[in-house]
Every structure is written in structure tokens, then in C-alpha cells.
Chains A and B, each alone.
Chain A
């Protein structure tokens, strides 16, 4: 050990004082995340507000942590929640179990289920960490209305699946904003 070594140590400390700080000021300045970070789930809507989820349970099937519970339901002419015959009547994700792997998102055949940046998933009781359909559904953007309501954008579900993006523009969903990513934009 040399006689100047302690001084050298102080030198490192002193030198760091003039460098850029890497610390994120969380939570004071929000909850930053990379744009494509996979946080909590969101159940998306068609441009007229109908739900994309068809209650197929493929997400629940794919989930390795058994975090998802889905029960399908039958759309009727009086109460329609999604285009086509079937909708997700009951939808729950248990965030005590979810490991954030995103396999459910890959399984979803309708792109109903996606993940957004939000990651502040902590609570002091178990009950509140089971998110239900109401918690998970995407907010209504301009041009959308709260289901149940009839199909506004076509005669059957084919029209919704095939022509989704054009239909979205026709409904006046703001440019640059896809129906699947609103909170992502908001957080950024």
C-alpha cells in the first residue's frame, strides 16, 4: 500500500461529484419506463368502443402462472359487448401470481390483451391485486362509446377484424394514437 493511496481514493470521490447523476428521481418525477416496457395488462377496444376480447381463454391457457381467469359469455342482440358471438363476461388477472412474462399477450388471437408501461403494482392486501375487467379495460377514447351497443362499424365481426385501422381513422381516433396504446403515450 502506497502512501498516496488514501488520497487517490478521495480523488475518485471528488471526481464523481462533477459527473452526470444516474439516479432516477422516483416517485417524485413519475414512473418512467422504456417505451416498450411490459407493465400491466390492458384489454383493448375496437374503435367504436366494443371490446376486443372474445372470452376465448387462450390467455388463461397460455399463462404459466395461472394468473388469469376468464369466463365467456353470449352476445345477444339486446346486449352486445364485442363483435361476433362471444365476449369475455368475466375477466380477472391476479397480480400476485403474474410473472410478467407476456405469454398471454402472444396467445391472444384478437390483440385484445396487450401490456402497457404501468408497473406500480403493489398493495397492502391481496384482494386489491386481483384486477377485474373494469380495471383492465382500456379507457374510452374519442369516438368510442361504452358497450353494450350494436356493431357500429360493420355488419359482422369480419369487418372489424379485416378493416380495423381504417375504421379507427373513420371514427376520429386521434392520429398517431393507436387504440391499443393510449396510456403508453400518456405516461411518456
Chain B
């Protein structure tokens, strides 16, 4: 028994307690768990189930310590991961207490009784907490001589997660993650005693067979394939693989690929959405083997979505373009060429087109800040135009004003912009035209966390109670697609409580990129923010969009949010770039659709295109017509795309793993990353454009990402009350409230189309990932019972361009509305229907 030191001169501030750990006095905040207080002292108590971001469970009992309260020792060692600190507590960890040490060794021995000692064939081997802690806190030998309990393995619980029940230590990290963080509790503890195991509804069906040993192997394997139930379909399932403290959950994609000592790890940033999650990229022999979630408490905490984790093999796809190609004038075929030759051809063609009717620039939304800046500068300096627009999606002039006044002028986290942390504490978060789980999964996780922990009221203005609405404990204000503007304007009337909440301190409104498709919505949101004082945050889908706004790849904006129409801003930029005063046109350029139309009408000759898929554009048919008509097309691409057949010169560029750069996430936070695979010879867009610029006698100074960013930063943000002009444009509503709110009325056999893209779909960065594709949500058409009435099992949704036939799922949509996924297998709406959110489509019973 230890006696607490009698007197001490340590001051205990309010809200803190003083206790003794291993004879050392510590002051700890009330409510802190013992295991963490000890950690701050430098004593690591072994643990499996404890995870700082999950609720304490006390499931594994590995963290036992001796505790003494009020001078009386507790009868048994206590789990330090569930016990909070208290005044006068005396704790002895394995360092000073033989009892604690023996208890830990005992637990370890017990955990290893049925453990298969699979290390040589286990993916966790080499980075396994069980291995490490067994070495540090286990007995040297086991006294267990009987036959071990075995299970058939591995059991696929989804196409990307494999379960090995023999290795599981039943810590319940995976189930707690799925339940608490992701809200997808498909995975749970089943059975009791020695047969207790992790499983899904599907595996539960085969429990009987599975809980016996090898004799039943084949029988159960056969059965599990055919069993019903819900597999572990979660967009966040990869996190369970990462937090599983043993090799019980492994990744189908990374299976047996390498060992930790083979891997070189670099910190990186996810390129898939605008959340900008921190990642760790592990590569071996010049090839990326896996991506893991990085730890960034400000942004993604320790979680990432499965797309960010598993979709990276597009960069090593066989069809990747590795050498420049130039179209042979005689044969009309693209032929490989040297860089010198290709750049010469591109520069000549672009110069000729520029001196003719001009060249438009379409950088696409996946660019880094530096690459966007290079496109922006290339358009202005080398092509002498403002015809540049990165919005390879539905867009509108109204959105352009919105971006200029509300997004470009928002100073990011430093300037009081909405941050991830704000989502957690906001009294209300109103999501408009945004499906957070599908479009920005990290945002969804934060909203859910806030709703769980701090009662953040999450309100969605959308069409149906999607899983995200349910999992954020949200309230749905349903409206017809296209009716969002009216819904926003009418909040004060039909949802006074929401309106009230929006007026309170810290309220936020989150807007998705779909807002551009709804006439009047950006303006209505602007009005709402002005009226209630709620802060607006724009959460686009693609990683590069916010950075591109900052870099000025918009027809109305120069870098740093400077309006093109502002003479002072123009001359500032001209001075900085060292170009003749007055060279920058005073008039804004054309947007994407404007450029395409101009090509068709022969008012524009050439196009310089980055990562753009024609089927993402609002009108793919118009786009194809325009590209066909264009005099000269230069494509900077990683993989052959819908642009490639029209390109006169194709210049290969580097994927994110092979370049450095910065993404600017939706908060406006810079997310710099360094090169992972060095020396592959692949060049970033900024470098290619720089060299192309030299060929055209224009100096961009964007040879490296650092140089480009330095150049942009020296220019700085726009000073003064910059976007006043545009802000006025926004408030001087072009569309009077109410009028805009009326979506077109569908007639008989028609419906209004609601759509957004699912996280896991046919996106071009998801090719070559069968395991990931297996966890995509089912592709169905959703509509209300009344709308589905008489259609049968399948519905055919059509426009004059084409049709899509999908199984019907009755959902709580408003009548006369049909929802389809935007770009999933069998449902590529832009490409087949040429229609988007809010369009009127024909519906009929589909045969299949």
C-alpha cells in the first residue's frame, strides 16, 4: 500500500484534480481518463479497445492498473481506460506495481489462448499492437496446451473488408466506430463465450456452421455466399481496418502486398473531395501500396472515407498517358511524340488560334492551387483572354456572382470562415443542395459528431430522407428539385424554428455545388445569410474548386479574388506579372457554356483543356459538337478521356502522388502536400504550362509548385471592399423571390428529376478498384408510392436524348419527383439524358 505524499506545493486550478501516478503527483483535468493522464507522464499502459475518438468501452481489460481511493486500495485492478481521474487517487501502473503487471500479463495470456499465431501470413504483422504488447507485457510462454478454437477464414464482410475471427481480440473498436462515428452499425458482436465473434447479418446466418472447426469449412463458405442480410456496406469501413488493433480486419486491396518495413510513408492530402483530408501514402518500389487516414484534428480527425483510402490505382492504370501525343495531320491519328515536338505543335496551334478568334481554357475542378494558378496566368498572359472556367459541371452566371462575392471574399479559417470545428459546435447547420455523405464525407462525419455530442441541429433542404439525413439525426425540409430557392426564401414562413435558430450565434449554412443548377438559389442563400446573419460555406464536390476560385480560373475573377472589371485590380495584376498595362481585357470572359457556344458559332478557335470529362458538362452533346468544331484542342490529361478523340495535342501530366502542390479545401484552408513518388518524370500541369508558355514567349514562373504558389502569394488577396460590384449584383436579385422558386410543373407521365452523385460510382478516379466498387450503394430510382404506382418493378426515365431503366425503390420523395444517381453504372444522367437536377423527364414502366 502506498501512502500519498503528505504535502505538496502543486497548485490545482479550477476544474482540475490532483492525483498520484507511480509515485508522481499529477494535475489532470476533471473527467480525463487515467490511461491518458499516464500517457502524458510518459507511461504507456497497454491497450486494445481504448481509442481517443471512441466512447470508452472497457472491453479488452488489457489496461489494468492498481488504484487506491481515499487511502483504500480497490479490491481488484481497474481498467484505466474507463476510469476517470479523481482527487487524491493513487494509481500504480505496471511500472511500479507487480499486481498490475501480473494482471496485464494474465490478460495477454488469455487473449492469446485462441489466437492463431498467424503472424507470418497476417497483414498486420510488423505493425501489430498485439505483437508489440505481447512482447512488452506478455508472458514468455503460454500454459495453454489444448486445441485452439478455430474459425473458417477469411470471411469477406464486404468486397473490401476481410474478417479473420481467430485473430479478433473482441475489443469492439470496429463496432463502436461503425455505430458511433459512421452510423452504419452493420457489424456487431455475435454469440457468447468462446464463440463470441464479430460479424454482420450475413455472417450471422452461417454462425452455426462457422462456429465449428475446419470440418464445416466448405459448407459454411458455400452458404455465406448465398446468405441474405446486409453486408458491411459503409462509406467508412476502411477506418475499421486501420483501427483494428490486430489483423482481424484486413483490406482486400492491400492483402499480402507488403510489410511495414518495405513501405516508405509520406504525408499526403486526399484528392477526391473538397474536404482535404490528411492521408498517409505508403509506397513500395515506386508503387503506391495503400493509403491510410492521417491524423489532423482540425480537418478529418483520424478518419477518411473509403474513396480516399482505396481509390488510387487510377494513377497506375494501364491506359495512363505517359508520352505526349500529336495528331498526325495526314492520318488523323494521335501519335506519340517527344516533348519538344509536342510542345512546339501545341504552342504553334494555340498561338495561331489565339491570333485568330481566341482560345478558351477549361482547367477542370481537380487542379491543385498551383496548377489552377498556372492555368489562370496562362490564359491571361499567353492567351490574353479571360475565357477560363474550371467549372466542369452545371454552372450559371448567378453562381459566378455568388463565388465572387461569397466564396472568393471569404478569408478561410483565418478570416472567420466556417471550419470543421464550427460544424461541431454550431446551433444549427442547414445543408442546402448538398448531400454531405456522398459529396464531402468528412463534413458528414463532423455533422454527425456534432449532432451526437453537442445536439447540433442538422437541417437538410433536399428531396428525401437520405441516409445522411438519418445519420445526422437531421430534419428534412423536402422540396421539389429546383424548388430549393423557394424553400430557402420561405424558411421564415414554414419553418420558423429553423429561421430562429439561424439567427443565433454560430449558425452555419452549407451549400453544395448543385446550387448552381437551381435558378435563384445562390441569390436566395445570399439573402438568407444577410437576413439571419448565419455564415455560409460553399462545399463543392471536387478537391480543386475552392483553390481554383482563389487562383482566378473564372471569367470574372483574377487571382486573389480580384474582379476582372475592377481597373485597379487589373493594373495591380499587370504590374505583378510584368505585362504591358492595359493588356488584360476589361470585360469578363465567357463561362464554360459560353465558350462551347462560341466555338460552335466560330467566335472562338481553340481550347486548352485540363481534367475535364465532357459527360460532366451540362450539355455533353453541345460539348461534343463544340470540340468537334474547335480549330485546335490541347488536352492535358492523365488518362484517355472523352476529350482525347478531339485533341490535337495530348500532354501527359502527373497524378497527385507524383507531384507536390496544395489543395484548398472547402474551408479555404490550404492543404499542402509533397511529392510521394519522386523522379517518375511526370510533370505537373503548372510545369507543362510554364514550358508551353516559354514556347509562346510568355513567362509564367510556375516551373515548380513552390514557384507558382510564391508568385500567387506575392500577389496576395484583393485589398479593400473587393467584390462589391458582384455582391450588389447578387442582392439586386435578377430573379425576384418567389418567381424563381417555381420549378416547372411536370405533366402526365412526367416527373421532375432530382439527382446527385454517389460517393462510389463511375468517377474517372475510381477505375481499377473492384473492391471499392463492390461497396457502392445500390443503383435505384427513387420515387414516392403515388408516383411509382402502376410502373412496376422498373422505371424507364427518358428525355429526347435517351433513357435510363432502373429498379424502383419507394422512398419519401414528394409526388411527381424521381431521384436517380448521377453517374453510377447504368445511370449516367448527363451522358444519356443530357439532363440534370430539376429537369422534367418522362417516366414509364420499364421492362426488365
Contacts and interface: CB of A to CB of B under 8 A. Distances in A.
Contact of B255 (A74, A109, A158): A74
A168 interface: no
A89 B120 CA distance: 15
Interface in A110-165: 110, 155-156, 158
A58 B261 contact: no
A54 B119 CA distance: 11
Contacts of A54: 120-121
Contacts of B119: 56, 109
A72 interface: yes
A116 to B, nearest CB: 23
A109 B117 CA distance: 11
B454 interface: no
Given A55-B256, A71-B257, A156 B214 contact: yes
A182 B119 CA distance: 29
B210 to A, nearest CB: 15
Given A61-B259, A72-B256, 17 more contacts: A55-B121, A56-B119, A56-B121, A57-B262, A60-B259, A61-B261, A71-B256, A71-B257, A71-B258, A73-B256, A85-B121, A85-B154, A86-B121, A155-B214, A155-B217, A156-B214, A156-B217
B125 interface: yes
Interface string B660-680: 000000000000000000000
**Interface band, chain B:** 10 to 19
Contact of B214 (A58, A86, A89, A158): A158
A86 B256 contact: yes
Contacts of B120: 54, 56, 58, 109-110
A110 B118 CA distance: 12
A84 interface: yes
Interface of A: 54-58, 60-61, 71-74, 84-86, 89, 109-110, 155-156, 158
Contacts of A61: 126, 259, 261
A71 B255 CA distance: 11
13 contacts: A55-B121, A56-B119, A57-B259, A60-B262, A61-B259, A72-B256, A72-B258, A85-B153, A85-B154, A85-B256, A109-B119, A109-B120, A158-B214
Nearest to A57: B259
A155 B216 CA distance: 11
A54 B332 CA distance: 52
Contacts of B126: 61
B466 to A, nearest CB: 36
A111 to B, nearest CB: 12
Contacts of A158: 214
Nearest to A87: B256
Contact of A84 (B121, B214, B255, B259): B121
Of the listed residues B121, B258, B259, B261, the one surrounded by the most CB atoms of chain A closer than 10 A to its CB is B121
Contacts of A74: 255-256
Contacts of A55: 121, 256
Contacts of B262: 57, 60
A115 B347 CA distance: 61
Interface string B246-261: 0000000001111101
A72 B214 contact: no
Nearest to B289: A71
A155 B261 CA distance: 33
Contacts of A156: 214, 217
Nearest to B256: A72
Contacts of B154: 85
Contacts of A86: 121, 256
Nearest to A61: B261
Contacts of B121: 54-56, 72, 84-86
A108 B126 CA distance: 15
A52 B258 CA distance: 19
Nearest to B120: A56
Nearest to A56: B120
Contacts of A109: 119-120
A54 B121 CA distance: 7
B122 to A, nearest CB: 9
B442 to A, nearest CB: 31
B288 to A, nearest CB: 14
B161 to A, nearest CB: 15
A61 B263 CA distance: 12
Contacts of B258: 57, 71-72
B217 A56 contact: no
A85 B126 CA distance: 18
B53 to A, nearest CB: 31
B120 to A, nearest CB: 3
Nearest to A108: B120
A75 B258 CA distance: 16
A155 B125 CA distance: 25
Contacts of B125: 56
Interface string B402-442: 00000000000000000000000000000000000000000
Contacts of A72: 121, 256-258
Nearest to A154: B214
A57 B258 CA distance: 8
A73 to B, nearest CB: 6
A155 B153 CA distance: 13
A23 B119 CA distance: 49
Contacts of A73: 256
